[in-house]
C-alpha cells in the first residue's frame, strides 16, 4: 500500500459524474490530505496481511511528529493540532513507465479488493481521527494548497 500524505492549508474536492458534471463539492482548511492505493505486492493478495499492516501503520501514525508546530518545527502530531484527515483513493500511485510510452497499472490491486482494504484503512483512522472520504474510484477534481510544502510518500 502506498500513501502520499500532504499537509494542506486548503483543498477542494469535486466528485464528477460520467459527463464531468459536478455531483458534490467540499472545501477544507488545515487538513492532512492522504492519497491511498493498494498494490498486489504489498498485500501479498491477502486481506488479513493488509489489515495487519494497516493496524501497525495507524498505531504509528497516531504518534508521528511530522507536522509544523507553533515554532515552525516539524514535531507536531495530528492530535497536537486537532486536525482532520481527507483520504482519497488513487490507483495511479502504482503506475510504472517501463514501457516508456504508456503507463502500466498492473501493479495496482483489483478495484473491488482494493476498495475493501481502503474502507478498512479509513475505518481504522476513524478510531482516532476525524476522517472524510470521497467516492472510492470516482472521477474527481482535487485542488490543494500544500503548506510547507510538507509531503511524505510512505509504503506500508
Residue ranges and CATH numbers for the domains of the chain are: 2-155 (3.50.80.10)
Chain CA centroid to CA 124, Å: 13
Instruction: Estimate to the nearest angstrom the gap between the alpha carbon of 97 and the chain centroid.
Output: 22
The whole-model pTM stands at: 0.86
Q: What is the pLDDT of residue 95?
A: 83
Return the sign of the alpha-carbon dihedral for residues 37, 112, 60, 78. Answer: positive
pLDDT number for residue 45: 66
Q: Where are the alpha helices (DSSP H) in 4-66?
A: 40-43, 47-63
Q: What is the pLDDT along the chain (156 residues), one digit of tens a residue?
A: 899 999 998 888 887 776 666 667 777 777 889 999 888 876 666 888 889 999 999 999 988 998 888 888 889 998 888 888 889 988 888 888 887 788 888 888 878 888 999 999 999 999 988 888 877 877 888 889 988 888 999 998
* pLDDT tens sequence across 1-13: 899 999 998 888 8
C-alpha cell at 4: 502520499
Those residues with Cβ within 8 angstroms of residue 134's Cβ, 6 or more apart along the chain or in another chain: 13, 15, 26, 86, 88, 89, 140
Question: What's the pLDDT at 43?
Answer: 64
Helix, strand, coil percent content, the chain, rounded in steps of 5: 30, 40, 30
Distances (CA, A) of 64 to 9, 24, 28, 70: 19, 32, 22, 16
Chain segment 59-77, per-residue pLDDT in tens? 999 889 988 888 888 899 9
Q: Phi then psi for 73, rounded to 5 degrees? A: -95, 150
Amino acid at each position: 500500500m502506498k500513501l502520499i500524505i500532504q499537509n494542506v492549508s486548503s483543498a477542494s474536492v469535486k466528485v464528477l459524474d460520467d459527463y464531468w458534471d459536478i455531483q458534490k463539492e467540499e472545501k477544507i482548511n488545515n487538513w492532512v490530505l492522504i492519497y491511498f492505493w493498494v498494490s498486489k505486492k504489498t498485500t501479498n493478495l491477502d486481506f488479513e496481511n493488509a489489515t495487519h499492516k494497516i493496524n501497525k501503520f495507524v498505531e504509528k501514525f497516531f504518534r508521528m511528529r511530522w507536522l509544523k508546530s507553533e515554532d515552525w518545527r516539524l514535531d507536531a502530531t495530528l492530535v497536537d493540532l486537532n486536525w482532520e484527515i481527507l483520504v482519497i483513493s488513487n490507483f495511479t500511485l502504482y503506475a510504472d513507465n517501463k514501457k516508456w510510452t504508456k503507463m502500466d497499472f498492473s501493479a495496482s490491486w483489483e478495484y473491488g479488493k482494493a476498495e475493501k482494504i481502503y474502507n478498512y484503512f479509513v475505518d481504522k483512522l476513524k478510531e482516532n481521527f476525524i476522517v472524510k472520504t470521497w467516492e472510492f474510484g470516482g472521477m474527481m477534481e482535487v485542488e490543494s494548497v500544500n503548506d510547507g510544502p510538507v509531503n511524505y510518500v510512505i509504503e506500508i
